[in-house]
Amino acid sequence: MRSMAYIQLNNQLPGITGLLENRPDTGDPIRALTQILLRGPNTLTELERELIATLVSYKNQCRFCTSAHAATVIALGGSAELLNQVYNDLDNAAVSDKMKALLVIAGKVQQLGTAVTPENVAAAKAQGASDKEIHDTVLIAALFCLYNRYVDGLGTYRPEDPAYYEKLASRLITVGYTRPREGITVTGEASFH
């Protein structure tokens, strides 16, 4: 028996997908922002940007978002080991020094905006991070502080089956974050409820 979200949705889709489908008035700008930040032209790779999203979701203890973006990281060529390093041992993680510095900034943003210090930013710049990369890191981290609270604050349903997250990751890689023209249900994600 699935647990119910705190409010009645117009669909049976899990996690954020159900919320975005339920309210296109707010869902569409959230999707558009995510598409630009995570899939738009950028000197940070999609894998690097998904790592930022995953780390913030992990720190916010949002199991749905962490599972979804971890699966996306892995589908983009990352690994469970890489994720474990980023969560628990960033200094020794198999990412560039620039990414380590950007992930430190993302972790600060997760705490609070004012937690980001000039030293954190200077360290990222010293490793070659551009102004836009720093900007996008801060905004991706901030966006996931929205997502994680939205998903858990309304008590949405989280599938346990890893196959759900593999399907979701596949859509996030091939279609991206904009709504599929045919709707979500064609991907088979709706069967996980």
User: Where does this chain bind another protein (CB under 8 A)?
Assistant: 6-8, 23, 25-26, 28-30, 32-33, 36-37, 40, 60-62, 105, 108-109, 112-114, 116, 118, 121, 131, 134-135, 138-139, 141-143, 145-155
CA 75, CA 81: separation in Å to the nearest integer?
A: 13
Nearer to another protein, 3 or 92 (CB): 3
Nearer to another protein, 10 or 92 (CB): 10
Question: Minimum distance from CB of 83 to another protein (Å)?
Answer: 21
Helix H or strand E segment including 159: none
- Cα four-point dihedral sign 11, 13, 15, 20: negative
CA 75, CA 66: separation in Å to the nearest integer?
A: 14
For the chain, report the end-to-end CA distance as a whole number of angstroms. Answer: 9
Question: Minimum distance from CB of 137 to another protein (Å)?
Answer: 9
Question: Minimum distance from CB of 169 to another protein (Å)?
Answer: 21
Count other C-beta atoms under 10 Å from residue 145's C-beta: 20
Nearer to another protein, 139 or 188 (CB): 139
Instruction: Tell me 7's DSSP state.
Output: S
Nearer to another protein, 82 or 143 (CB): 143
Nearer to another protein, 83 or 134 (CB): 134
- Residue identified by tokens 């020794």 is 92
Nearer to another protein, 51 or 105 (CB): 105
Q: Hey, what are 95's tokens? A: 């990412």
Question: Minimum distance from CB of 79 to another protein (Å)?
Answer: 27
CA 184, CA 31: separation in Å to the nearest integer?
A: 13
Question: Minimum distance from CB of 188 to another protein (Å)?
Answer: 27
Question: Minimum distance from CB of 96 to another protein (Å)?
Answer: 19
- Residue identified by tokens 């008035």 is 25
Q: Are 5 and 156 in contact (CB under 8 A)?
A: yes
